[in-house]
Amino acid sequence: MKIIDVKAYCIRQEVPHKFIWRNGLPGSGKYTESTWLRILTDEGVEGWSPISRGVIALDLIKRRLVDELIGQNPLQKEHIWHRIWELDRIEEFPMYFLGAVDVALWDITAKVAGVPLYQLLGGYRDKIQTYASTVTFPTTEEFMDVADQCLDYGFKAIKLHAWGDARRDAKLCQDLRKRVGDDIALMYDGSAGFNPYESLYLGRALEEADYMWYEEPMREFSIGAYRKLSESLDIPVLAAETSDGCHYNVADFIQQGAADMVRTSVHYKGGITGAMRVAHLADAFQMNAEVHGGGPANLQICLAIRNNTFYESLIPCNPIVVETGIDREGYIHAPTLPGVGFEVDLPKLEKMAFAQL
């Protein structure tokens, strides 16, 4: 099997509900640009991969990938992964780009095998609990209202992205625990909004309120700061979501005791291959690799591995809008079609594209 062509389509779409992450972070704009990568083979099987940026991705595909990929066997994913890792040394790819080709190659591989990807990767379960992952709402009252709606819908777990003010966020987290009772799993995501002292203060409040994990309170560039925080708190610190360097970097977080759980994702850890490496690395230390972010590719990882608890589903607005496919018990179910499960309407995509290759 050979790769015979590489195509890409940049599209611009209005964001129906502008994402807001804590005070001070701009969140999403009114429009978002993304690129669909399409890898064609001599046997007619095609692989797809969405990249969450527009012309930047198109430029990298054009300059770095086309010549590299044409003529290669798409089933030799390990070889191609390491070629891209080599190219990264020269180009310093953005993290969201590092695994883009890998996702398309696994899409091809699972289509050739005739199974949904998670079964090829391991196949641990056919459905998984989701958590309602909130954007930042302006007031405590609105967070409580959103939480009520999530529980009414059937969610059994909620994660807050709050304001980034340690005292105010601590109070919110404690109020939410009182509101939902003891049986709902609660998590908190700091989106790297705090310094070490604030992180410790807030972590103690989360411990008291029996939160399940404390995610990314600080930027993830100081192993020392994360080690100190993890040693000081009993609540599991969840880290290494946005740190560069795939499993090589996550290994350092684990080895140094700088996290109690680690993040894995198709977006930031080098595609399916990288996300699975992180998951297996963590498993070897009896640690969870909680899957960051949603979408079809991350769902396949959630279903493939044992050491992950939930699928992350964004609640972008109030009144809440729930992602398609989540049932009233809070589960999302395995796709049945071969491949990763992207639904691509090619004629529509070609028409929508403002730039393409």
Query: Could you tell me the smallest distance in angstroms from the CB atom of residue 107 to Mg ion?
Result: 25
Burial of 34 (0-12, 13-18, 19+ CB in 10 A): middle
The span from the CA of 123 to the CA of 119, in Å, is: 4
Query: Could you tell me the smallest distance in angstroms from the CB atom of residue 204 to Mg ion?
Result: 20
Length of the chain: 357
- 320, 100 contact by CB (below 8 A): no
Query: Could you tell me the smallest distance in angstroms from the CB atom of residue 194 to Mg ion?
Result: 14
The 10 Å Cβ neighbour count of residue 141 is 10
- DSSP characters for 168-181? HHHHHHHHHHHHH-
Identity of the residue, 159 or 247, whose beta carbon is nearer to Mg ion in the bound complex: 159
Residue whose CB is nearest to Mg ion in the complex, by number? 189
Which residues bind to Mg ion, rule: CB under 5 A?
189, 241
Tell me which DSSP letter residue 274 carries. Answer: H
Identity of the residue, 107 or 189, whose beta carbon is nearer to Mg ion in the bound complex: 189
Identity of the residue, 81 or 310, whose beta carbon is nearer to Mg ion in the bound complex: 310
Identity of the residue, 217 or 341, whose beta carbon is nearer to Mg ion in the bound complex: 217
Query: Could you tell me the smallest distance in angstroms from the CB atom of residue 192 to Mg ion?
Result: 9
Nearest of 1, 86, 85 to residue 42 by alpha carbon: 1
- Residue 177 tokens read as 């625990």
Identity of the residue, 69 or 261, whose beta carbon is nearer to Mg ion in the bound complex: 261
Query: Could you tell me the smallest distance in angstroms from the CB atom of residue 242 to Mg ion?
Result: 8
φ, ψ dihedrals at 32, nearest 5°: -130, 145
